[in-house]
Chains A and B, each alone.
Chain A
Amino acid sequence: MLEIATKGTKNYWLWIAFLLIVIGAGTVAYLDQFFNGLMITGMSRDVSWGFYIANFTFLVGVAAGGVMVVIPYYLHDYEKFHRITILGEFLAVASLVMCLLFIIVDLGQPVRMLNVLLYPSPKSMLFYDMLVLNGYLFLNIVIGWKVLEAERNQVKPPAWTKPLIYLSIPFAIGIHTVTAYLYCGLPGRGYWLTAILAPRFLASAFAAGPAFLIILCYIIRKFTKFDPGWEAMQTLSKIVCYAVIANLFFFLCEVFVVYYSGIPGHQTHLQYLLFGYHGYNALVPWMWSGFILMAVGAVFLVIPKLRNNYILLPVACAMIFFGAWIDKGMGMIAGGFVPSPLHHVTEYMPTLQEIIITLGVYAAGFLVLTILYKLATQVKEEVGG
């Protein structure tokens, strides 16, 4: 089936070449980091995780968001999603590839990575995160591939894929829950120490993942003969709408608890993010942009007339996607570290080199996504035509 990816239009190859150039630039920047250490990043003693882990956290959400097409189709036999289920699964694969790459580029000693397997530590949440992320990646590759292959051969998918599909649902919830547990179980970090963190992560995941899927549907419609179906996209947009509203609601719950209780260890982080703290306010415009983007996007999607607008829908989805990226990426990670446990303020901004490495990882993910989507759309075209 992979041979499909070796034949394409001029635009296809131009896009692949562009991605390879970005990957190349990212690799060169990473090699410098590999030999000189994480000193090339904007991270510090106080802010010891940065852009890499921020993007990792966000992309775990995008990967988990794929389950929002799997559940309706496989659990509720919602036929409209038949054509896009594979897109959700392959988006999860590409996102997880990026997640794992982000973890690797964040390690100080990447060559010792396998120590996680050599000395398994069941008390560490990172151990479980590794298990669920790799498990979910494996499940989606196998399921996506087998189901697509069966479709190409116009036969039913093998019976053993069914239990794997059902298993992938708790795994999707699991990857994001465990990723939230990385943060919310740490006693000294007031911004993360909240039971609503995992639900909040899931809500923003179920908004950002399907929102991105809708945008991808537009791109597929433009560049291939395969039509994912306007009705499917409409249903997806409703999912995005309610998920982003849930995410905003959870955030407001957090704001209430933090400000009404007034406990300084919890309040200072939100204060820093929303209004600035002791004159430090680098992230304030980011945070407000993030929440305004999500809120306006939610309004667009909740009003049927606007949601049904073919031009407006991808705009609203892009707003929600970037809003969630800010909220869960930079805001969540840098916000948790500022102020430090000693209430010192060290602000964080990624360096250019850090951004180039990040773009390299994204390009690698998009390369995987392009190839998988190329297979999926081509097979669908063949079968449908």
Chain B
Amino acid sequence: MMEKSRRSFLKVAGIAAIGLGAAPAMNFAASDSQGSAAAVKAKNPDALHAERWGMVILVKKINDKIAKQITHACHTQHNVPDFTHEVDTQKFPDTRPVNHNQEIKWIWKEKFHYAFPDKEDEFLNEKFHHLPFMVLCNHCKNAPCVQACPTRATFSREDGIVIMDYHRCIGCRFCMAACPYGSRSFNFRDPQPFIAETDPDFPTRSKGVVEKCNLCAERLAKGEQPHCVEAAEGAIVVGDLEDPASEIRKLLRENYSIRRKQSLGTEPSVYYIV
């Protein structure tokens, strides 16, 4: 019984992995006018495109409840392990105790002075101390993690998304040292026992590889909005930074926005409107 469910699970995960791995290559081929028949077949007419994807977070619209919803939506649907999840000891009999410092997170809330340590201010408006700031991968234009990766397992797509090939990653963690935003997590152990319910639409990861937010590239390819956008009740907007008519450009035109550690020159694509 256990063996069987594990096998069928592996099958699903394998298929999902193939699909995700092939998607960028197919998108690339499809954008080419000489695209082959196979590539044309994969092209989804509903897919969302951008010259450079970006995100605007309307901080004031987020409270603790929405913050929780966002993290939950992202993590459950990307099969991010939850170390507080009670392990099914029948399915995973020899699971060792967890070290919570080795947790994995893609998007989570931080207090202002952690999200923006260089903007710490003793006279800061009191309410900022309590606002939840959602932090995630910034999909930097000049991503230090992409530069550091010795196998090109982390790379920048043409549309600005910084994405990973979990099957090429050797787990050297150079990208984690390089990221100035602490946005990357390493699978110190097999994540399976800590996934309550595996989402077959997305690959699970093995131990020993790094992972992070992929701006829901798999959903954009299907014409859907990222999970965090759907869960945020209007507080997160994703769109094309290079398109002056896009909603996020409109928001950036009309509001003062900040980005994390702008002075480092990494050019984050995530903007915060406070």
Q: Is the CB of B115 within 8 A of A44?
A: no
List residues of chain B with CB under 8 Å of any chain A CB: 96, 99, 101-105, 110, 113-115, 117-118, 120, 135, 144, 146-153, 168-174, 176-182, 185-190, 206-210, 261, 264-266
CA distance A49 to B174 in the complex (A): 9
Q: Is the CB of A341 within 8 A of B174?
A: no
Q: Interface size for chain A: under 10, 10 to 19, 20 to 34, or 35 or more residues?
A: 35 or more
The B-contacting residues of A in range 60-111, CB under 8 angstroms, are 103, 106-110
Q: Is the CB of B148 within 8 A of A126?
A: yes
CA distance A341 to B183 in the complex (A): 9
Q: Which A residues are CB-close (under 8 A) to B264?
A: 187-188
Q: Which B residues are CB-close (under 8 A) to A109?
A: 169-171, 206, 208-209
Tell me how far the C-beta of B195 lies from the nearest C-beta in chain A, rounded to whole angstroms. 15
Q: Is the CB of B180 within 8 A of A344?
A: no
With both beta carbons as reference points, the residue of chain A lying nearest to B114 in the complex is identified as A342
CB of A234 within 8 Å of the partner chain: no
Set A108, A110, A113, A343: member contacting B173, Cβ < 8 A: A108
Set A39, A113, A264: member contacting B99, Cβ < 8 A: A39
Q: Given A45-B101, A115-B170, A119-B151, are A187 and B117 also a contact pair (CB < 8 Å)?
A: no
CA distance A126 to B193 in the complex (A): 33
With both beta carbons as reference points, the residue of chain B lying nearest to A336 in the complex is identified as B177
16 A-B pairs besides A103-B172, A119-B152 with CB distance below 8 A are A45-B104, A46-B101, A106-B172, A108-B207, A109-B169, A109-B171, A110-B170, A112-B168, A112-B171, A124-B149, A126-B172, A186-B148, A188-B261, A264-B120, A341-B181, A342-B181
Q: Is the CB of B102 within 8 A of A45?
A: yes
Q: Is the CB of B170 within 8 A of A121?
A: no
Q: Which A residues are CB-close (under 8 A) to B117?
A: 264-265, 341-343
Pairs A-B, 10 closest by C-beta atoms:
A108-B171, A188-B180, A108-B208, A44-B101, A37-B207, A39-B189, A126-B150, A48-B176, A115-B151, A39-B188
Q: Given A44-B102, A45-B102, A346-B101, are A108 and B150 also a contact pair (CB < 8 Å)?
A: no
Q: Which B residues are CB-close (under 8 A) to A119?
A: 151-153, 168
Q: Which B residues are CB-close (under 8 A) to A44?
A: 99, 101-102
Q: Render A315-350 as a binary contact track against B, CB cut-off 8 A, 1 for contact.
A: 000000000000000000000110011111010000
Q: Is the CB of A36 within 8 A of B96?
A: yes
With both beta carbons as reference points, the residue of chain B lying nearest to A190 in the complex is identified as B180
Q: Is the CB of B208 within 8 A of A343?
A: no
Set A39, A107, A188, A265: member contacting B178, Cβ < 8 A: A188
CA distance A185 to B102 in the complex (A): 25
Q: Is the CB of B266 within 8 A of A107?
A: no
Q: Which A residues are CB-close (under 8 A) to B114?
A: 342-344
CA distance A186 to B99 in the complex (A): 27
Interface centre among A38, A103, A183, A344 (most CB of B within 10 A): A38
Q: Which A residues are CB-close (under 8 A) to B188?
A: 37-39, 41, 43
Q: Which A residues are CB-close (under 8 A) to B210?
A: 108
With both beta carbons as reference points, the residue of chain A lying nearest to B98 in the complex is identified as A39
Tell me how far the C-beta of B235 lies from the nearest C-beta in chain A, rounded to whole angstroms. 21
Q: List 29 A-B contacts (CB under 8 A).
A: A37-B189, A39-B96, A39-B99, A39-B102, A39-B207, A43-B188, A44-B99, A44-B101, A45-B102, A106-B172, A107-B171, A108-B171, A108-B173, A108-B186, A109-B209, A112-B169, A116-B170, A119-B152, A119-B153, A121-B151, A124-B148, A186-B180, A188-B180, A336-B177, A340-B182, A341-B180, A342-B110, A342-B181, A344-B182
Interface centre among B144, B177, B180 (most CB of A within 10 A): B177
CB of A280 within 8 Å of the partner chain: no
Q: Given A39-B96, A45-B185, A188-B178, are A343 and B113 also a contact pair (CB < 8 Å)?
A: yes
Set B103, B135, B186: member contacting A48, Cβ < 8 A: B186
Q: Is the CB of B150 within 8 A of A186?
A: no
Tell me how far the C-beta of A217 lies from the nearest C-beta in chain B, rounded to whole angstroms. 36
Q: Given A45-B103, A121-B150, are A188 and B144 also a contact pair (CB < 8 Å)?
A: yes
Q: Given A119-B151, A265-B117, A265-B118, are A112 and B170 also a contact pair (CB < 8 Å)?
A: yes
CA distance A119 to B188 in the complex (A): 24
The B-contacting residues of A in range 13-46, CB under 8 angstroms, are 36-39, 41, 43-46
